[in-house]
């Protein structure tokens, strides 16, 4: 009874702490600060965030260019800057929404299925560590540095002159925001791997049909669909007439390839985790049955009818569980993967709709 009460207390504590993280992650702090004049999650809240983020990210480039008379340098790259800023704003909004959904699902659906109090403590420690500013900065800051180096270096090379301090500052702010947004899929991938380390409430005779596997799969599939939809929009924009011809050729296909790699990687990680959880539960039950069979064989009279029947029954159960499926790959999972992969391709085709129509009319 004491262990059960301790477990229930841990479930409640973990749920509260993980739900509290929803307001503590960097994107939530940014949005709550910029949208504090409005009720959270309302239309005014989101409009305020989008308008202010645009001002914060684009103003340095324009104001510094005017002050330092760099506007002639800025004009050729203004279109690319606006496209990058809008893409990053979309990315941070979507990353925030995805993180909120995942944290909510973990708190309300995953935590209660963990049957070991120590595992709950380990999970809480992992969440605290991965959402610490130190951990996020270790990922976001190097990416920001890479972003600035690529943007400023590449653009200056194309213009054959330094692109300007205004553009550099805008690139730094945009890169930092992009790094925070990128941290969410990286964190999600790490969480997928981490989930296989805990003991869950499982169906003893058919582990692959356990509710927890469905909960984890649904949670991660939502995340992958959100990611796929976002990459579809980015692919559409990179391939559309909103971007000049040179940038379309340069970025559209690499964006599609990146989208496919990310989606496939997330899919494989999810299936690997579900398979590991299923396999561990399966062998836990098999080992327990084998222990009973060995004990009964060692202490019982095998010529006794009841003892023999118990042995045959246990052996039959052992055989049935051994034959039960462990691999979570099936036609449904592959059809889901296919639909996710088609979304970015659809974005590329829509972005090049004029070329597609000409090709079909021939």
Q: For the segment 212-247, what is each residue's pLDDT rounded down to a tens digit?
A: 888 888 888 888 888 778 777 777 766 655 555 555
Residue 357 located in a structural domain: no
CB 73 within 8 A of CB 163: yes
**The predicted structure's pLDDT at residue 102:** 92
164 or 271, higher pLDDT: 271
Q: Give the whole-angstrom CA distance, residue 176 versus residue 165.
A: 17
Domain boundary pick from 176, 199, 222: 199
Residue 72 has pLDDT above 80, yes or no: no
3-state secondary structure 299-337: HCCCCCHHHHHHHHHHHHHHHHHHHCCCCCCCHHHHHHH
**The predicted structure's pLDDT at residue 296:** 75
Residue 323 located in a structural domain: yes
**The predicted structure's pLDDT at residue 330:** 66
**The predicted structure's pLDDT at residue 357:** 57
Asked if residue 195 and residue 214 are part of one domain, the reply reads no
Residue 328 has pLDDT above 70, yes or no: no
| Owner of token pair 């039950």 | 285
Structural domains counted in the chain: 2
Confidence of residue 26 (pLDDT cuts 50, 70, 90): very high
**In a 10 Å sphere around its CB, with 0-12 CB exposed, 13-18 middle and 19+ buried, how is residue 16 labelled?**
exposed
259-290 residues labelled b (16+ CB within 10 A) or e (exposed): bbebbeebbebbbebbbbbbbbbbeebeeebe
**The predicted structure's pLDDT at residue 362:** 56
Q: Give the whole-angstrom CA distance, residue 347 versus residue 240.
A: 9
**The predicted structure's pLDDT at residue 17:** 92
267 or 69, higher pLDDT: 267
Helix ranges, the chain (H): 2-21, 26-34, 43-67, 71-105, 117-130, 133-159, 165-194, 211-239, 245-299, 305-323, 331-351, 353-361
CB 235 within 8 A of CB 256: yes
Asked if residue 132 and residue 36 are part of one domain, the reply reads yes
pLDDT > 70 fraction of the chain, expressed in percent and rounded? 84
What pTM value is reported for the model? Answer: 0.82
Confidence of residue 18 (pLDDT cuts 50, 70, 90): very high
Directed axis angle between helix 331-351 and helix 245-299, to 10°? 170
Residue 362 located in a structural domain: no
SS3 of residue 145 by DSSP: helix
The overall average pLDDT reported for the chain is: 81
298 or 360, higher pLDDT: 298
> What would the two tokens of residue 287 be?
């080992």
Asked if residue 220 and residue 185 are part of one domain, the reply reads no
Q: For the segment 251-304, what is each residue's pLDDT rounded down to a tens digit?
A: 566 777 777 888 888 888 888 888 888 888 888 888 888 888 788 777 766 666
> What would the two tokens of residue 205 be?
């005779």
**The predicted structure's pLDDT at residue 105:** 92
Domain extent, residue 162, equals 1-199
Domain boundary pick from 167, 199, 231: 199
Asked if residue 212 and residue 169 are part of one domain, the reply reads no
Asked if residue 218 and residue 179 are part of one domain, the reply reads no
Q: Give the whole-angstrom CA distance, residue 60 versus residue 81.
A: 12
Asked if residue 194 and residue 142 are part of one domain, the reply reads yes
Asked if residue 70 and residue 135 are part of one domain, the reply reads yes
**The predicted structure's pLDDT at residue 308:** 76
Asked if residue 205 and residue 195 are part of one domain, the reply reads no
Asked if residue 212 and residue 166 are part of one domain, the reply reads no
**The predicted structure's pLDDT at residue 128:** 92
Q: For the segment 190-214, what is each residue's pLDDT rounded down to a tens digit?
A: 998 899 889 898 887 788 788 888 8
DSSP code of 101? H
Q: Give the whole-angstrom CA distance, residue 276 versus residue 274.
A: 5
Average pLDDT over residues 158-184: 85
> What would the two tokens of residue 87 be?
């893409």
Asked if residue 208 and residue 191 are part of one domain, the reply reads no
| Spatial CB neighbours of 349, under 8 Å, sequence gap ≥ 6 | 356
């Amino acid at each position: 009874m004491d262990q059960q009460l301790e477990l229930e207390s841990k479930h409640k504590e973990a749920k509260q702490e993980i739900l509290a993280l929803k307001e503590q992650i960097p994107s939530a702090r940014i949005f709550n600060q910029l949208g504090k004049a409005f009720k959270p999650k309302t239309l005014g809240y989101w409009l305020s965030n989008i308008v202010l983020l645009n001002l914060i990210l684009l103003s340095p480039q324009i104001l510094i260019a005017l002050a330092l008379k760099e506007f002639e340098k800025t004009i050729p790259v203004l279109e690319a800057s606006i496209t990058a800023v809008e893409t990053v704003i979309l990315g941070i909004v979507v990353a925030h929404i995805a993180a909120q959904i995942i944290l909510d699902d973990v708190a309300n659906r995953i935590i209660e299925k963990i049957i070991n109090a120590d595992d709950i403590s380990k999970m809480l420690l992992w969440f605290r560590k991965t959402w610490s500013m130190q951990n996020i900065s270790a990922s976001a800051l190097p990416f920001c540095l890479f972003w600035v180096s690529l943007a400023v270096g590449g653009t200056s090379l194309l213009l054959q002159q330094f692109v300007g301090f205004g553009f550099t500052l805008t690139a730094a702010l945009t890169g930092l925001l992009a790094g925070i947004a990128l941290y969410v899929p990286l964190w999600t991938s790490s969480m997928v791997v981490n989930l296989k380390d805990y003991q869950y409430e499982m169906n003893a005779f058919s582990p692959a049909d356990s509710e927890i596997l469905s909960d984890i799969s649904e949670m991660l599939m939502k995340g992958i669909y959100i990611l796929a939809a976002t990459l579809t929009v980015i692919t559409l924009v990179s391939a559309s007439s909103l971007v000049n011809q040179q940038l379309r050729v340069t970025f559209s296909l690499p964006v599609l390839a990146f989208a496919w790699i990310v989606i496939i990687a997330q899919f494989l990680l999810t299936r690997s985790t579900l398979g590991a959880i299923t396999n561990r539960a399966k062998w836990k039950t098999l080992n327990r049955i084998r222990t009973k069979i060995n004990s009964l064989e060692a202490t019982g009279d095998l010529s006794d009818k009841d003892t023999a029947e118990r042995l045959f029954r246990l052996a039959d159960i052992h055989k049935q569980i051994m034959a039960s499926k462990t691999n979570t790959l099936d036609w449904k999972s592959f059809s889901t993967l296919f639909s996710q992969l088609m979304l970015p391709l659809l974005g590329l085709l829509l972005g090049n709709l004029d070329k597609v129509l000409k090709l079909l009319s021939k």
